Chain A
């Protein structure tokens, strides 16, 4: 199984709402990532978890709150978002150590903030 599953596929939320994006993998990967992709732009790294600990936060606003409850799951909690946060949010996973690492991406959650 080389699949990274993201739910929901689409999400529309108001600026006062609280919602969560979910990501799951069963490849035994110990590194998991959140990327944000605006329309017609490349993905940009937001967060990296390694062995369930936050390793990288690319200066992301606090209205985005990541959580890694176990080695298979990664969440992104959203609160008080702005319309400019509308984007495709991509989750990825990979081995955390050694060579020959390769990131596997999910299909993404298309988020619209209204």
Chain B
């Protein structure tokens, strides 16, 4: 069984500051890792994914994440945030291959203020 831990329920940050949202996972098998963003009253939008290869993954909207197998982490970063980045961010894990049975972390609310 897999699990995902997002220790920070809320991260306040000022506009144009850098931000890191933390994600740790637990699994007995190799996994795929994802970050999704959810704006209020919306569905989920994929920010980026790690399937294999380079451990530094670049996604949409200037976000990137680094897969660290030894620390079982997949932290999300952005060098300079905007007000429009205010949203809920979910880290998720799934088995490799076949259809995706996503297991989500509890989410981190990113609050960007001027």
Binding site for B on A (CB under 8 A): 4, 6, 31, 33, 35, 40-45, 48, 50, 55-56, 90, 92, 94-108, 110
Contact = CB atoms under 8 A, between A and B. Distances in A.
Contact of B99 (A40, A50, A106): A50
Contact of B43 (A55, A96, A99, A106): A106
Contact of A96 (B96, B99, B107): B99
Nearest to A42: B104
6 contacts: A33-B99, A94-B100, A95-B99, A101-B98, A107-B42, A110-B41
A96 B94 CA distance: 13
Given A56-B101, A101-B32, 4 more contacts: A41-B106, A42-B106, A106-B43, A108-B43
A6 B41 CA distance: 13
Given A41-B106, A42-B104, A90 B98 contact: no
B114 interface: no
Contacts of B52: 99
B7 interface: no
B101 A105 contact: no
B22 to A, nearest CB: 15
A3 to B, nearest CB: 10
Contacts of A101: 32, 94, 97-100
